Structure 1
Amino acid sequence: MPAPQARPSAADDCPVSLDVLGTLYRGDSEMVETVLADIPSGTRARLAAYLYGKSHLHALGLRVASACTETDLVRVAGHAGAVLFAQSRADHRPAETRLPGQRRISLAGSRAIA
């Protein structure tokens, strides 16, 4: 008789159907907002924590978390939920890291060598 397969813990289960998850993954901003509005707040917070914990869905997790309250995220994920809340509302533009006096390099004025 084959050994029973271990079932992933409940924390590893996606809180929404695969159809909803696919719609969120492929949808544009308007579609994502519409779908998220129909998901109860507690489920939405669990979904944000679930997605954020998956490296390939990290950005989508932040997007879902931006539609959650801090209270819901903390209730679902504790301190990690508070961090997720803050990150979902942070400005994620990369900072320019040039030293003072360092010039920008541009190839716009360079000539092609024949």
Structure 2
Amino acid sequence: MTYTGLTAPDDLDTSCPVPLEMLGRIYRADAEAISELVGALPERTRARLAVYLYGRSHTFALGVWIAATCEGSTLRRVAGPIGDALYDLSRQTDMLPAHQSSRSATPKRISLGGPQLRA
């Protein structure tokens, strides 16, 4: 598996570390609610969630934002070199405000049905 040019360790668990219902709540929440939901998780689970989200293009920024709540050593233990890169990225001040402001807006709805044409 590859995340932004880095190869994941063979033993990296790529499954979602939280129940899908909770993942949906986190994805749809505003910044304050995300902080509350994620803050209740153990740090290792937060780190695994950050790596899980970081590896998907549509949740990349959310993964970086959650990684900012983790220690570098925890991210490193969870994901090796990917954890290091994610830690460094999460400490870039220009990355976090853009994500926070975009999460406070209404989430975009994704449609797989293509454009709707009116008759």
TM over 0.5: yes
* Closer/same/farther in 2, CA of residues 19 and 10 from structure 1, 3 Å limit: farther
- Report the secondary structure of 1:49's partner residue: helix
Measured after TM superposition, the shift of residue 12 of structure 1 is 2.7
Q: Which runs of 5+ in 2 are unaligned?
A: 1-10, 96-119
* CA deviation profile, 1:62-90 (whole Å, cap 9, x unmatched): 01101111111000011110110110110
Runs of 4+ residues over 3 Å off in structure 1: none
**Take 2:13 and 2:58, find their aligned partners in 1: how far apart are those partners?**
17
Give the gaps of 5 or more residues in structure 1.
1-8, 94-114
Tell me the amino acid that sits aligned with residue 21 of structure 2.
D
CA 1:10 to 1:89, structure 2 compared with 1: closer, same or farther past 3 Å? closer
Q: Provide the residue aligned with 2:26 in structure 1.
A: 24
Aligned equivalents of 2:43 and 2:12: distance in 1?
A: 19
Task: With the length of structure 2 as denominator, give the TM-score of the two structures.
Answer: 0.66
Aligned pairs, number: 85
Q: Which one has a bigger Cα radius of gyration? A: 1
Superimposed CA distance per residue, residues 26-56 of structure 1 (whole angstroms, 9 cap, x where no aligned partner): 1111101101111111111011011101111
Which protein, 1 or 2, shows the higher relative CO under an 8 Å CA cutoff with sep ≥ 6? Answer: 2
